[in-house]
Structure 1
Amino acid sequence: MEQKHKENKELIVIFTQTGFIVDYEIVPKKNLSEENQKKQEEWYTRFSKDKYKALWELGFSKQDDWMSQSISFLNFLANKLIMKISRQPDIEFTREEAELSLDYDELDEIKSMIPFSIGTEFINNEWISFIFEKIADIYRKEISGYKGTVKDFLMERNNNINVVGRVYFHLVENKDENYPFAFLATYSTENKDAGVHKAKHVPLKNALLEYKDDKEKLLQLMSTISKAADKSEFISQLMESGELFSPLKFTKKEAYTILKEIPIYEEAGIMCRIPNWWRKKSNSLRLSVHIGEKEPSKIGMDALLSFEPEILLGEEKISKEELKKLLLESEGLTLIKGKWVEIDKNKLSQVLEAYEKADSLSKEEGLTISEAMRMELNPEEGLGINEEYVDLQVSNGAWLKKVRETMIKPEIIKEVKPSEDFHATLRPYQNTGFSWLSYMQKLGFGACLADDMGLGKTVQIIAFLEKVRVTKGGKALLIIPASLIGNWEKEIERFAPLMPIVVIHGKEAVANLEEESAFLYITTYGMAARLDELKNRFWDILILDEAQAIKNPGTKQTKTIKKIKAKTRIAMTGTPIENRLSDLWSLFDFLDPGLLGNAKEFTKFTKGISENKTNYAKLRNIVNPFILRRLKTDKRVIADLPEKIEIKEYASLSRKQIVLYNKLVKDIEAKLKTTEGIERKGLVLGSIIKFKQICNHPDQYLGLSEYKADYSGKFQQLKDICENIYEKRERVLVFTQFREMTEPIADFLEKIFGREGLVLHGGTSVKNRSKMVERFNGEEYIPFMVLSLKAGGVGLNLTAANHVIHFDRWWNPAVENQATDRAFRIGQTKNVMVHKFITKGTIEEKIDSMIEEKQKLASDIIGSSGENWITELDNKSLMELFRLGGEK
């Protein structure tokens, strides 16, 4: 489907448990050039046809402006494979049989580059290895049918690829005081005795014998050395003297020359095997800042921590005086405490200067927690350090280390028991979440509860609030989308019936705010942006549900909410908060102001990510302790979950719905007085249908075709749920018992998902049904299917769906379960969430309560008679059922 705002679209990756999806996302203020738009469209088409082949091809492209951070990550991963192929000197022998797996260091390097994007929580060693193997399979398939060399194969796709030759340079340490290093040049040649395509490494002098009758092959082998000799006087001399063909002893000066020239040799196509301490810089000098050894005197982000700088060589501490002595030595390699260290006077001077700054700072009043974490994120700002010259390591002292470990692993928190007035048994992972919230409050830190949809964030928050109410008291403010008011009221009534609450919404908002007897004040984002009175109070607790509502730092709503003063701040969200870095900053600017610096500082940091993608890992290391996110797929969670997660979603009637509903109640009440028998039965059954229509949307009841979302609480509820579903590119089935509702629902969902879905009802032919099922379960992203309950309730296998929504209720559990089972089948690998829409205060809520209270009634009577049992109620009972809750 054609999407609007073409220039604002960005091609992104949604990472999933089993792979990834490439899709567009609308990005405000993202204006791509026409050329970059075309590139996006071209790659979108490629990924749509064959995503792993497209990924293999993407690896041959250099990083480009059109690439989002998530596309750049895939590009890096695919390029890693291509580089691995190009860096194997025996690749011409092994071809498709080459060993192409990743070692732990390579996996760690890739993980350090993971961007802040949707679904990155799924990326682990297994995920990376799986994707890597998928791309490797494309290479194996293509090279097996290619007649030329691997070098030609790669260079046809990108002629800038530097394919290595077969020559190796080896440098190792030697136990000779005068010649502490040994050097050997080797080359790889086919091992004909191995019986398979394997290579063996032999000294370079063997080439003179092997190719004595084939000068061309000898020149080809030596070509990489010739390239290196053009840029290296040292290698040129070794070649001219013939020493390069023999084992050599090197002085530390000669070894230093080799080590400094490694980039020249590798660029020429020579593989270099050198000591790990040089490659990993493990023997380099670095400044270590040790923060938070002891518990501070107060809590919160402004708590002052102890701060101790030290100079490290490897893992050993050296003194300032020892560093000054090193500065007196000549540049090159020197042996200190049994370790070879590079003497680079410029770098050593920078380390000394940074140490003296840090030492001076430590003698002052110390660092706050937010300053300490910002230093890790941006050492240049904190200590005026140039990271190019000074390797800064921020380490946590005993107290801070224990605190961070506890925040990241909440299972180790001493379990907090809910209040006796709390009427629910928390699942183990929910109790962990409740205990974590209590722990974060104790520390004075803002916290983000970001559990996956369906894991019970609301019940954990209610348990926390009830515990605070009973043990500490105070006043709490909860800000939520208007569509969730009914849900929260119902859940609090169910789990914490003694908690006094007041809803600040509508005409009575200001008056309700003055209600001093309440503990919890509930308001909406829209109301919070308008009510100055909220800012004039100091709240003990401030909670945001669906906290992505403040992701845009520039809006009036976000700015106003951030001005509300509170001791404890909590954000709730079921969508990935790591989607966009600016969103992340805005959230933490609310939770823990200063943790990520101000907007200008953070923007400067994020711009640097394009040059150094390991900064993603730095940022993640800082924010992760403040976020608790569990997925339905987590091993620690899945054992506690039922096979199907069923949630009742309570929608509130709009004003228009209330007017129509009350009018219908009056009409029926008058007619019931004058009807009997079969006529009465028809009146009751017809009225039930009308009430359901009003609860769905006024236009269904009135026979209109506009279907404005604002006129229906259920449409608002559908929007909130489906926005979360779309964020992760999951799929949903929406069931309605009314065929005439299928198209309006589908039209509404099309706006949310930005593309068409599928509609299946009684008029859909058998042939088209099969095609729809195949499309919905296929590789193409089809976000939704709307089904009429009777037509879609049987005979379909729609296991691609993660969610099932019952838009209206059949009030027959057997029929609803049968429909749900279209998505939940044996062999289903996804968790299925079932959302049952109920309009608060209406016949829908009352009948649902009756079914829940009388399970025998549900199975014995409803199962056999549908809604006929309602006609047997007397007039008084009927009117109690029909009237809106609270109406007399």
Structure 2
Amino acid sequence: MKVYTTQPFQVIYSLFEHEYLGYLFESFVVQINTKGQLTLQHQNISAKNAEEFSARLDAKDFKLIDLIDQIQQDTVLKKFSNKKLSAVDFFLKVYDPEKGDKNLQEAITHYMQVRMNKILEMLQDRRTFIMGKDGDPTWKEIQVAADKATVRFHLHRNADNTHYYPTVRYKGEKLNFQYRNAALICYEPAWLMVDGIIYSFESGIDGKKLQPFLNKKFILIPRSVEENYYRKFVTSLVESFDVKPNGFEIKPQQFRPKPHLNFSEIKSADVSALLSNGGSEASKVDKAAAADKILFNLSFRYGDHMVEAQDAKRISVSMEKTEDSYIFHKLLRDAVYEKEYVKELAKRELEVKNGQAVLDKSAAFSWLNHNLQALEQLGFTVEQSEKSTKHYFIGEISVNVGITENNDWFDIHGTVRFGEFEVPFIRLKNHILTRNNEYVLPNGQVAIIPEEWFTQYIELFAFSEGEHQLTLRKHHMALVNDLQNGNLAQVTMTRKLEKLRGFDEIEDKPLPVGFQGELRPYQKAGYNWLHFVKDFKFGGCLADDMGLGKTVQTLAMLQHRKENGAESATLLVMPTSLIYNWLNEAQKFTPELRILTYTGTYREKNVEQFKDYDLVLTSYGIVRLDTELLKTYYFDYIILDESQAIKNPDSNTSKAVRSLKSRHRLILTGTPVENSTMDLWSQMSFINPGLLGNQHFFRKEFLKPIEKQKDEHKTRRLHALIKPFILRRHKSQVARELPPKIEHTTFCKMTEEQEHAYEETKSYYRNKILTSLEEKGPGNTQFMLLQGLMKLRQIANHPYMTDPGYEGESGKLKEVIRMTRSIVAKGHKVLVFSQFVKHLEIVRQVLDEKGITYAYLDGNTKNRQQQVELFQNNPSIQVFLISMKAGGVGLNLTAADYVFILDPWWNPAVEAQAVDRAHRIGQQNKVFTYKFITKDTVEEKILALQNRKIQLVTDLISTDENIIKSLTKEDIDNLLS
């Protein structure tokens, strides 16, 4: 029957019993007559139509209606059945007495009980009825009691058995509920209906404890099962409820709690159990890392009883069997004191949740070492779990390290204390290097090495030598300084070695008599520095900017060696293309040096001839071929020019030069690192073997943290180690007499045909690369990305580079030729650099057509020096086309005052080297640099990414490959957009 909202109505709640789901409520609206009485005109109400009746509903009604919707049969069916079964079929199957699904029954019951409890809590001031058998929702009105009832359980023990029964009281009066047609409306917790009133209980009792007594006076427990029943059932009853004993005793006990902190390793099985506790800390435990975790468990001792902190029960009961009865010791826990102890742990940064805390093993023992004494003073007992397989040491740990200078090295000595045990420092070497933090003491206990020691001493052990006595080469002075400054070692050294702490004490050395020419102040400082590292028997790296005169500084030092009794010749190794340049410079500045050019197919393979020379010039290729021969000679110096040639430590060239013998070693380079920090390891290991440890150590401790994790601390550490042996000055710092360098970026628009070719290629590679990223990840996409970027860069220059059938023009080429003609017409000279020989060939062809003469240099050019001199000395040759790879180093082209960079790439250092061919000592004019960028192409994106992505590590580390490796999906997306 429809209820009219235009006339008075009332919302009511009606209780009925479902065959399978137990007691449920339904919500109704009932029409009210003129006397304010409920009529038979009613209508079911749910969330679907509640808004229609909102005029007479409040917020609580809406919540009740929603909860009641959730317990209706159809909702239960939808939630717990994933098959298309009717309600009848579903309930018959699940609740079948023999084949029913007990687990599903329990799940449904719990779901229903939770919601019934919430509904009953809200019904106290609502009109509530029992539904009649004819479906009348207002058949009999009932009430929900305003106050909570109490339950007391009685146990009368006599000679033969024990009678067990409950009594219920409401507002101090006994409530008779047995044999009164009482019903449990809800079990979790109990809601009991007696004589039309529904009661709830103070202790939140489980309804199953009252159910047996609705129609039974008591339960009888025979003497034969008494002890077991008392131990299991009565103990828990006494803990949770008011129990009246008769024939046995309940003794309340109160003590001040004493805290116990127990610790143990977490095994895989323990992790699962820990997670099931639901603690917030526990949920963080990773099963895979279980062996590396320590579980702290807090408990409290009350008299003779131990109570777990995670146990939520505020009362703990234990049973004592006497000669003829039982005593139940009812321990009342002191929550206030327990919380104070938890706060004390929190103050010391151990956050205990649900009685437990989990820390990494190293952090756990570090925490114990720092806090054990204070905890014991507070009354804590700290001990290891008896279940642990290892017996851990938790006493005080300390280390004392001394470093003393010897003739050619440092002696390292030290002692580690683990409580009463003293251990030589050297015994920790393998543990520190392998990051094994467990050290077994003489008594079998396992001491955990503090985590900070692995950071503080790993380099000391990695760089030191010796099995029984640790020694450290003197070129590890920076490490010794750091240990001393960090109070990690006591250092004793001579005044002479103290000079290494700062370059301001470098002694000024007179220039050799036979040196022809003058050194600029910064070059003289470099000359002094070369002596400085030599005098301390260190190898050095002169890494000045291109064009600052590394050659002349080195020649001055070699002339000094000649005049001061060098006993053997110096070997100077370089790329073949630079030999002529060295010869020219030596003839100019050090004409007295006797120089042998050890190159060519017909070289005399006899080291005896070296005794007649001061300087032997050779190439990396010859050293590689003649290694066995050259190894037989003991050189005064071995000097590597453009030493990045040995950047790959596993190459035959690197192995060859490292195997040669000499008193001193020196490397010259403008770019110590081109592709990876491993380049640095290779070159540093040549000049100062062992300075950066072995390759494995360097990769793990420096290369990976710096390149993959961008670890600034590791970057600083690496620089501290190499700083004393690298001298690097920038032109902006020292060559202030150089004319200014003015840089421009020229943006070129693509032609229509070029744009079409570019977009077609971009679309093809974009789809391939982004699909590969999704399916295979970045690691397996790098080659395809490089391939795609290469094609796009070439098309941005000129589509002919990728498609010989292309007949259109290039916007960039038109602009390059226009500017070249303009510069040539004004009498200037220009260097034109490209990374692509193919691109230079296209430019070359157009210059031929325009009648513009030029010099040309790429990797295949045989008359290299002739081309350089032609450009430098012939006024009619105003253009020099140079491939970046062949002409980026070793050329002095100060005749040019314009530099064109035709195609940008990741590494700005490569472009800077090209510009330095013109902008170097000897240049009298302003140098104008033009970087040509094709608009709306990957070149423009690369320019932006150069600024965002590349971080030079104090100008020593610049990368190409690493940038490609570090590109994110978003970066790639932007590049190809």
Higher helix share: 1
Tell me which structure has the larger Cα radius of gyration.
Answer: 2
Q: TM class, shorter-chain normalised?
A: 0.3 to 0.5
Report 1 or 2 for greater relative contact order, CA contacts < 8 Å, sequence distance ≥ 6.
Answer: 1
